Amino acid sequence: MQRVLDHIDRHLDDDLSLDALSAVAAFSKHHFHRQFAATFGLSIHRYVQLARMRRASHHLAFHTAASVTEIALDAGYQAPDAFARAFRQRFGQSPTDFRKTPDWKTWLTAFGPFIDARSRHMANYTLNDVVIRDFPATPVAVMTHLGDPQGIPGTIRRFVTWRRSVGLGKTVSDTFTIFYCDPRRTSPTQFRLGLCAATTRTIPPNDDRVTQDLIPRGRCAVLRVIGRSDDLEHPATFLYRNWLPGSGEELRDFPLFCQRVTFYPDVPENETVTDLFLPLV
């Protein structure tokens, strides 16, 4: 089943019919269809639809260069009208309206079954996966998200727009996220997250409320996460619960943070790379 999920991630533009995917799984069509639904809680057809629609919605929200027609074809639809109908049915907005003002709450609800399915097959980390590195002092520009975690995609969208406007896109500036608090132990109104672009520039006062900060130099335990990176709770829990108690290390007074090395949908989701840093004394 993991081989099938990886195949879907890598081949969203190719034939993902029941015949093709049952061959990848080396199951009969009948057995594969039933086994997939039993394992993930949704049919293989719906999973593929959601995977393609998720990539399309990312392109609409964050990649403004592509037209709606191009995105529709990329999602496997023969005509933009068919794509628009399917998109509205799923998200309650037309693709054009979503591009202008995404309704992220409805978007997250629509992808709940897809996210749940992917969460059932998470990586199993070992103590040998963690390395100690000296992290260099890194000046950053920070846009802070404060409030309900469901609003994070909207903050990311604003941050991406700001980065492009000042010439600090992800191809020229390293990307970090600072996790100031644990969402499981913080009320939604007090949740705080920092979206960062590495830069030595002086950031003047601005309407986007981007400020200057510094990720300090120091030793860090580093866990490389390959695959889904929009929810890092599982690898973070491994660092705190499994690695730290027996490591002989002490935590430094700086929060957990990560570096986004590669991004979805620039690369297939199962190939995204995120380095998770746990600051140590």
The pLDDT tens digits of the residues spanning 80-130 come to: 999 999 999 999 999 999 999 999 999 999 998 888 888 877 778 999 999
Per-residue model confidence as pLDDT tens digits over 1-50: 889 999 999 999 899 999 999 999 999 999 999 999 999 889 999 999 99
- Cβ contact 167:199 at 8 Å: no
Of 192, 187, 183, the closest CA to residue 213 belongs to 192
Q: What is the structure's pLDDT at 123?
A: 76
Instruction: State percent of the chain over pLDDT 90.
Output: 81
- Cβ contact 115:51 at 8 Å: no
Instruction: State percent of the chain over pLDDT 70.
Output: 99
CATH code of domain 127-279: 3.20.80.10
Is pTM, for the whole model, over 0.75? yes
- Cβ contact 63:20 at 8 Å: no
Domain borders along the chain are 2-119, 127-279
- Give the span between the Cα atoms of 107 and 252, in whole angstroms: 37
pLDDT band at 179 (very low <50, low <70, confident <90, very high): very high
- Per-chain mean pLDDT for the chain: 93
Higher-confidence position of 123 and 266: 266
- Give the span between the Cα atoms of 239 and 246, in whole angstroms: 11
Report the run of H or E that residue 169 belongs to, with start and end: none
Report the run of H or E that residue 275 belongs to, with start and end: strand 273-279
Q: Beta partners for 138?
A: 215
Of 115, 112, 113, 83, the closest CA to residue 98 belongs to 83
Task: Please state which of the four CATH numbers 1.10.10.10, 1.20.1250.20, 3.30.930.10, 1.10.10.60 is assigned to the domain occupying 2-119.
Answer: 1.10.10.60
pLDDT band at 261 (very low <50, low <70, confident <90, very high): very high
Q: What is the structure's pLDDT at 184?
A: 83
- Give the span between the Cα atoms of 122 and 40, in whole angstroms: 13
Q: Where are the alpha helices (DSSP H) in the chain?
A: 2-10, 18-25, 29-40, 44-62, 68-74, 80-91, 95-100, 104-110, 112-119, 152-165, 233-237
